[in-house]
A and B are shown apart, each in its own frame.
Chain A
Amino acid sequence: MMGLGVSAIGQGLLYGLMGVGLFLTFRILDFPDMTVEGTFPLGAAVTVAAISNGITPLLATLLGMLAGMAAGAITGFLTTVGKVPVLLAGILVMTGAYSVNLRIMGRANLSLLNKPNLFAAKFLKSLPPYFDSVVVGLIVALVVVTLLILFLNTQLGQGFIAAGDNPTMARSLGIAPARQEVLGLIVGNGLVALSGSLIAQNNGYADVNMGIGVIVIALASIIIGEVLFGELTLSQRLVATVLGSILYRFVLLLVLRLGFSPNDLQLISAIVLAILIMIPAFEHRFKIRRVLKNGVKTNG
C-alpha cells in the first residue's frame, strides 16, 4: 500500500510536467492545444528508439523533448502563418504524429528491457521501490517550474502573459501575439514530450497509443490545482498544477481500489474532469460564492 502511494507521487510528478506544459497554452495563452496528444508519445518514442540505438539516456531524453518542440512549432506555423484554427492545427499535428511515432519505433510498442535509462542510475536503484521516480520527478519538476517562474518574471515573460490576456492590447504595445503563441506552443510541447519521455523510461516501454486521453489528464491536473488552491499568483499556479497532477494519481488509485477496471480509467477521467470544469458554473447558478461573499461584505 505504501509503495502504491509512493508510486502515485512519482507518476504525479512526471505527469505534472505535462500539466505545466499545457498550462502555458491553455491557461496563459488561452487556447486548447490538442498537439499534446501527439507530442506525449512522440517524446516517448524518440527517447526509447534513441536508447535502443545506443544513445545515452540523458541525450535521448533531450532528443525526445526537442522532437516535441518541433511538433509544437509545426502547430504554431499552421495556426499563425497558415491561419488554421488552433484547435484543428493541433488535431492535424497530433494525427500526423501517430504515423511518425510508428515510423520512429518501427512497431506499436517498443520495450526498454535490459536497456539503460534515466531511472537505472546506481544511486536511484539503491532507494526503496518507486522512490526513483519521486527523486527524478522532483528534480525535473523543480528545475522546470523554477525556470518557468523566472521566465514569466522577465520582460519577455510579461509580454507573453499579456499576449494571452489581451491580444488587442498586446498588439497596441508592439507585442506580436502570434510570436508569443508560437513560443508557447514550442515550450509547452517540449515539456509534454519531456513528460512522455520520462514516463516511458519509468514504465520501461513506449507505446504508440500512450497519448490517448493525456490532454484530459493534463487538464485535470490544472483544474484540480485551481479548485483546490483557489486564488493564486501565476507562479504559484504552476506549483499547484504539479500538486494537482499528484492528487489526480491518488484519485485514480482510489478508483481502482473501488474495484473499477483499468479499462474504465479513461471514462472516469473524462467524468472527473467534466465535473471539475462544471463546478464554477453550478456555483454561479446556485450563487453559493456570491451569497457567502455578500454575507461577509454586509457584516464587514
Chain B
Amino acid sequence: MAEAQLTLSNVDVNVAVGETSRALLQNINLTVAPGDFVTVLGANGAGKSTLFNAITGDKPVASGKITLAGEDITRARPEHRAKLIARVFQDPKMGTAPRMTVAENLLLASHRGQRLSLKSRGLKARQSEFLALTKQTTNGLDQALDKPTEALSGGQRQALSLLMATMQEPALLLLDEHTAALDPHTSAEIMALTDSIVRQEQLTCLMITHQLEEALKYGNRLVVLQAGELVADYSGAEKAALTRADLLQYFA
C-alpha cells in the first residue's frame, strides 16, 4: 500500500465546560491515501467541523497524533500548516478578501504558505494565467478579474475560493460544506467543478456535506461521524453500493 497522505491516530479533542471538559472527538483513527476523495457525513454536532479544525490546528488536540504528507503536524501552528492545507468554507464570504479584486485574491493564494517579500507583486505578468484558470468555472469569473470580490455572486465567490484553494496543489484539500449556502443549481455547478479539479489534480480531499446525494455521488470513500466518534467507513465498491437508505440509519 502506498504511503498514507493523512493519518489521525487516537485523536481526542475536548472543550472546557466550566470545571469539567466535554469530548468533541474521541479516539479518531483515520488513514487517507494520496488522491483519496473522502466525503464526511454526520448530524449537527457530530464533530465534523471539529475534525477539520483539529487538522488545520484551529482547535488543539488533547491527545493523539496527526501527520500530513509525512510530517507530524500535531502541534504545528495554523499558519505553518497553511503551506500544506487549503480549505474552502461554507460561507462564501470567508474564503476571499472582499475589497481586493479577483486577480489580487488569486495572486495572494498563489503565495500560500510562503514568506511574503517586499518584491513587487507582479500582477500584470500573471493576468493571462489567471484568465485561463478562471475560464474553467463557466460562471463569468473570467470577466470579473479586476472586480472586487464583494461584487461577485455567492457562486462566483465559491468558485474563486475553490480555485484559490487548489491552484497550489495542497497536500490536503478541506471542503467544509462549501456548497451549502448556494442555490441548488449553483451548488451543482460548484460540485461539478470541485469534482473535476480534484480528479484532474489528483488531490487528497475531505469534504463535509449534509447532502446524502452528494455524499453518495462524489468521492471514492465515505466516513460517518456520530457523537464525536468515527462509526462507519466505506470505500471503493462498498461505497458505490451504498444507498440513501443505508445512510439514513445514521441520522435516526
Given A155-B111, A161-B100, 16 new contacts (CB under 8 A): A153-B121, A154-B117, A158-B104, A159-B108, A161-B97, A162-B108, A165-B97, A166-B97, A168-B94, A169-B95, A170-B97, A171-B79, A174-B80, A174-B83, A174-B114, A176-B79
- Whole-angstrom CA separation of A172 from B108 in the bound complex: 11
Q: Are B99 and A165 in contact (CB under 8 A)?
A: yes
Shortest beta-carbon distance from B187 to chain A in Å = 21
- Chain B positions 94 through 109: 1 when the CB is less than 8 Å from some CB of chain A, otherwise 0: 1111111000100111
Q: Does A175 contact B (CB under 8 A)?
A: yes
Q: Are A162 and B82 in contact (CB under 8 A)?
A: no
For this complex, 9 residue pairs linking A to B, each with C-beta atoms less than 8 Å apart, are A151-B118, A153-B121, A158-B104, A158-B107, A165-B99, A166-B94, A174-B79, A174-B82, A175-B79
Q: How many residues of A contact B (CB 8 A)?
A: 22
**Which residues from chain B contact A172 at a C-beta distance below 8 Å?**
56, 78, 82, 86-87, 95
A154, A169, A171, A173: the one within 8 Å of B121 (CB): A154
Residue of A nearest to B174 (CB): A172
Q: Are B113 and A174 in contact (CB under 8 A)?
A: yes
**Which residues from chain B contact A151 at a C-beta distance below 8 Å?**
118
Q: Does B120 contact A (CB under 8 A)?
A: yes
Q: Does A156 contact B (CB under 8 A)?
A: yes
Interface of chain A: mostly helix, strand, loop or mixed: helix
Shortest beta-carbon distance from B183 to chain A in Å = 22
**Which residues from chain B contact A154 at a C-beta distance below 8 Å?**
116-121
Shortest beta-carbon distance from B156 to chain A in Å = 16
Q: Does B178 contact A (CB under 8 A)?
A: no
Q: Does B112 contact A (CB under 8 A)?
A: yes
- Chain B positions 75 through 91: 1 when the CB is less than 8 Å from some CB of chain A, otherwise 0: 00011101100110100
Q: How many residues of B contact A (CB 8 A)?
A: 31
Residue of B nearest to A155 (CB): B116
**Which residues from chain A contact B113 at a C-beta distance below 8 Å?**
173-174
**Which residues from chain A contact B109 at a C-beta distance below 8 Å?**
173
Q: Does A157 contact B (CB under 8 A)?
A: yes
Output the residue of A154, A156, A161, A174 with the most chain B CB within 10 A. A174
**Which residues from chain A contact B79 at a C-beta distance below 8 Å?**
171, 174-176
Shortest beta-carbon distance from A298 to chain B in Å = 19
Q: Are B99 and A157 in contact (CB under 8 A)?
A: no
Known: A154-B117, A174-B112. A169 touches B94 (CB 8 A): yes
**Which residues from chain B contact A156 at a C-beta distance below 8 Å?**
116-118
**Which residues from chain A contact B96 at a C-beta distance below 8 Å?**
166, 169
**Which residues from chain A contact B104 at a C-beta distance below 8 Å?**
158
Shortest beta-carbon distance from B125 to chain A in Å = 13
**Which residues from chain A contact B94 at a C-beta distance below 8 Å?**
166, 168-169
Q: Are B116 and A175 in contact (CB under 8 A)?
A: yes
**Which residues from chain A contact B118 at a C-beta distance below 8 Å?**
151, 154-156
- Whole-angstrom CA separation of A176 from B97 in the bound complex: 15
